[in-house]
Chains A and B, each alone.
Chain A
């Protein structure tokens, strides 16, 4: 009886403290405003870098906005070609759904795992792939699982 009570007491104390612990863990993010930085709060430099996103800035989720600010911090260290590409792709990237971005990151990771000597020039491969007839391109896509018959 006493053993059981001791266990219950320990479990209760543990649950309480674990909850307190996770609250502590989230404290840093609670300190920064949950809404994410407003456009006016960005430095002039960051506003200039992120200019393509200005009009849609408010529609971007708070954590994504923080991510953009982090990318703007990297921007000065990029070479001009990379900067130009980022400027050009920013708007499109921001408009994708979170799932699409996740898929793209995953594909990037997979493609970069293919040894460079085997994959050849990626740009060339991409244009070659694009020139394939649609049927052949679709054939390469992983087969979607058949949806379960509706009940």
Chain B
């Protein structure tokens, strides 16, 4: 047997050639068609079509969570972890330097002096 589109085409072709119908039958068909048209729902509001479109593109709500939220959450957690790690590193670094300045050979004043470090470097380069 023919497949569906071909079958449909054949019917369309026959109908296009004209089907002899009684006047009462065509009147009934016309009335039915008009009734159907009058009851047809107005098109969905544009905004809804739009959101539906987005959700549809993202694969619906389940697709949205998988394709968008999961990577974004992963990324956010990653950023948070890096930030926390950096803060910890900075605190540890300050602690280490404080201990070194507090216990080192030179008094605190030597490290506060604006010129000593430059003078020392200049000497070291000779």
Chain A residues packing against B (C-beta within 8 Å):
1-2, 5-6, 9-10, 13-14, 17-18, 20-22, 24-25, 28-29, 63, 67, 70-71, 74, 78, 82-83, 85-86, 89-90, 92-93, 96, 100-101, 103-105, 107-112, 114-115, 118-119, 122-123, 125-126, 129, 137-142
Contacts and interface: CB of A to CB of B under 8 A. Distances in A.
A93 B77 CA distance: 37
Per DSSP, chain B at the interface is helix
A9 B121 contact: no
A138 B118 CA distance: 11
Contact of A2 (B57, B98, B120): B57
Per DSSP, chain A at the interface is helix
Contacts, number: 153
Contact of A71 (B98, B106, B116): B98
A104 B99 contact: no
A40 B74 CA distance: 42
B17 to A, nearest CB: 43
A25 B86 CA distance: 11
Interface in B104-126: 104-108, 110-125
Interface in B61-96: 68-69, 72-73, 75-77, 79-81, 83-84, 87, 91, 94-95
B80 A22 contact: yes
A129 B95 contact: no
Given A13-B68, A20-B76, A70 B112 contact: no
10 contacts: A1-B50, A18-B75, A21-B79, A21-B80, A71-B98, A86-B99, A108-B97, A114-B120, A126-B107, A137-B119
Given A67-B91, A104-B111, A140-B122, A5 B50 contact: yes
Contacts of B31: none
Interface residues of B, number: 49
B105 to A, nearest CB: 5
B45 to A, nearest CB: 15
Contact of B108 (A93, A138, A142): A93
A90 B58 CA distance: 61
